Amino acid sequence: MKRENVLAGQVALVTGGSRGIGLAIAARLGEMGAKVSICARNVSALEKAASELQAAGIEVMTTQTDVTSEVQIPHLIRKTQQMLGPIDILVNNAGIGIFGPFHEQSAGDWDAIQDTNLKSVFLLCREAAPEMIRRKSGHIVNISSLAGKNTFANGAIYCASKWGLMGLTGCLAEELRVHGIRVSAICPGSVATDFSGQGAKDPAKMLQPDDVAHAVAALVTQAPGSFISEVQLRPTRKP
């Protein structure tokens, strides 16, 4: 059953929307009435996600996209605008992690993580912002991590990407707020997805993808006179 259609008529683009947190966010925004555009690199995963969303009565389109590509991002934005309409909500969710001793990691590891977790957000925001500025409205939500606030052993490259994302988010918020555009970061702890690796952690005590989706829903339904710049999200019990 659909939730109250508070986002009826709005268009949401969610990167990394084929599974895990991204799919949960796409489903929540669609249940709230938004038309949803999702992208990922894996075509079969996108098709499976689209089928799930459509079965729930959500209008959805998919685009195979490498979000690190400066060539592919404009195509994603144009296609979304042409098929669904101007983008009201951009959720930069796509991300990867490579963990281990920093001195055993390669320049290729560095580039892969920074390009996916940080550069892609810059590229997407740069492409989506002009239309939001023209319309004087919009929400940009960047899915960061508590790793963007804290450091830990074997997380050097990942933490660097998320600390950078927090800096980028803050600067975008200052630049775009004068245009009526709200830019926020959500910083979850460990979420029970394939990405987390989980290890010895108890999934039942970890955050769930729906917890992050709930935070996104709260951000995009704020009253127009204010915005929440950052959300730190932790499980009630430590995993």
Active site residue 158: yes
156 CB-near residues (< 8 Å, 6+ apart): 102, 105
Residue 102 belongs to some domain of the structure: yes
Residue 66 belongs to some domain of the structure: yes
| Catalytic residue selected from 158, 193, 206, 239 | 158
Q: Which two tokens stand for residue 71?
A: 């060539």
Rg (CA), the chain: 17
- The pLDDT value recorded for residue 1 is 40
Q: Which domain holds residue 208?
A: 11-233
Residue 2 belongs to some domain of the structure: no
Q: Which amino acid is at 185?
A: A
- The pLDDT value recorded for residue 204 is 82
Q: The whole model's pTM is what?
A: 0.95
The secondary element (H helix, E strand) that includes residue 53 is: helix 43-55
For residue 220, the domain's CATH number is 3.40.50.720
Measured from the Cβ of residue 163, the count of other Cβ atoms closer than 10 Å reads 18
Residue 238 belongs to some domain of the structure: no
Question: Could you tell me where the DSSP H helices lie in the chain?
Answer: 20-31, 43-55, 72-83, 107-114, 120-135, 156-176, 209-219
Question: Could you tell me where the DSSP H helices lie in 56-155?
Answer: 72-83, 107-114, 120-135
pLDDT in tens, 103-149: 999 999 999 999 999 999 999 999 999 999 999 999 999 999 999 99
Q: Which two tokens stand for residue 84?
A: 């669904």
Residue 6 belongs to some domain of the structure: no
Residue 3 belongs to some domain of the structure: no
Q: What is the number of structural domains in the chain?
A: 1
Residue 61 belongs to some domain of the structure: yes
pLDDT in tens, 69-94: 999 999 999 999 999 999 999 999 99
Residue 49 belongs to some domain of the structure: yes
